[in-house]
Amino acid sequence: MIRYNWGAKKYRQRFGSNNPAPMIEVEIRSFISEEKFNELLAFFGKNGKKVSEDTQETHYFDSKEDLRIQKNNFYSKIWMKKGKLHDDQREEIELKVGKDDFEKLGTIFEAAGLKVIDVVLESNTALIANPVAAADPVKAHAMGQILTLLQGALDARSHVLVKLNVAEADLEAVIALLPSLKSPTVSKLFGEGGFAIETVVPKSTINVLIPALKDRGATDILEVPLAKIVH
């Protein structure tokens, strides 16, 4: 997949100075040979600067619907597209799981009678900066800010925020269950002998974690989706 942005100057050169000059993103999807892929890598390596990268692997199944499983550097997912390949619009349904659950998904689908047709696509996603622009401290700083937001959104995809209350007598038992990016935040509840806890945990563990927390005495448990995690 290749994306190319036309700036205002190039747009006016192509379509005339009297036309509005919006930013245009063109997306091209095509299967290419390994030789052509290496040529593209060489081109971008010469004309740009890689600042971020992701690797994707997609398996397609011989089902009635367009059913796939995919993994990348951050998570795995079940991915179904309704309709036909060249329809103007296609509904997409995704269910994300932990990055390490990809093989389990394949095992479950095969047990259900589905077979992998082929590993059709292994792709790399990269954020590439123009080296001239990257040499400008002001522009480089802006690029870094964009990268921070993108990386934060990617990291958030595989985590959720958990919030709960717990009595003082059960506090240590609940804390012992909680994985966290850092130590959980613990606050004393106003006028009560209990505590409020919140922490960020991997999404892949949440369905096991919540019942375990309840068994240890946690109450009012909330699972909150995250938009970004910025370290």
pTM of the model: 0.49
Q: Which two tokens stand for residue 133?
A: 């622009």
Q: How far is C-alpha 58 from the chain's CA centre? A: 15
Q: How far apart are the first and last CA of the chain?
A: 29
Distance of alpha carbon 198 from alpha carbon 164, whole angstroms = 6
Backbone φ and ψ for 4, nearest 5 degrees, come out as -135, 125
Distance of alpha carbon 188 from alpha carbon 192, whole angstroms = 8
Distance of alpha carbon 155 from alpha carbon 99, whole angstroms = 12
What pLDDT score was predicted for residue 24?
Answer: 46
pLDDT digits (tens, 9 = 90+) for 153-189: 888 888 899 999 999 999 999 999 887 667 889 999 9
| Neighbour order of strands in the sheet with 219-225 | 185-188, 194-202, 159-167, 219-225
Residues 6+ apart with CB under 8 A from 86: none
Residue type, 157: R
Q: Mean pLDDT over all residues of the chain? A: 79
Q: How far is C-alpha 142 from the chain's CA centre? A: 22
Residue with the bigger pLDDT between 52 and 156: it is 156
Residue type, 91: E
Residue type, 3: R
- Model confidence at 2, in pLDDT bands (50, 70, 90)? very low
Domain 159-225 = CATH 3.30.70.580: no
Q: Where are the domains of the chain?
A: 51-156, 159-225
- Model confidence at 7, in pLDDT bands (50, 70, 90)? very low
Residues 6+ apart with CB under 8 A from 33: none
What pLDDT score was predicted for residue 17?
Answer: 54
pLDDT digits (tens, 9 = 90+) for 71-112: 888 888 888 888 776 667 778 888 888 888 888 888 887 778
Range picked from 34-43, 95-104, 134-143 for highest mean pLDDT: 134-143
Backbone φ and ψ for 165, nearest 5 degrees, come out as -115, 155
What pLDDT score was predicted for residue 181?
Answer: 60
| Paired strand residues for 168 | none
- Model confidence at 199, in pLDDT bands (50, 70, 90)? very high
- Model confidence at 39, in pLDDT bands (50, 70, 90)? confident
What pLDDT score was predicted for residue 78?
Answer: 87
- Model confidence at 28, in pLDDT bands (50, 70, 90)? low
Residue 119 has pLDDT above 70, yes or no: no
- Model confidence at 56, in pLDDT bands (50, 70, 90)? confident
Cα 46 to Cα 21, 42, 110, 192, 225: the distances in Å are 28, 6, 43, 63, 39
What pLDDT score was predicted for residue 21?
Answer: 47
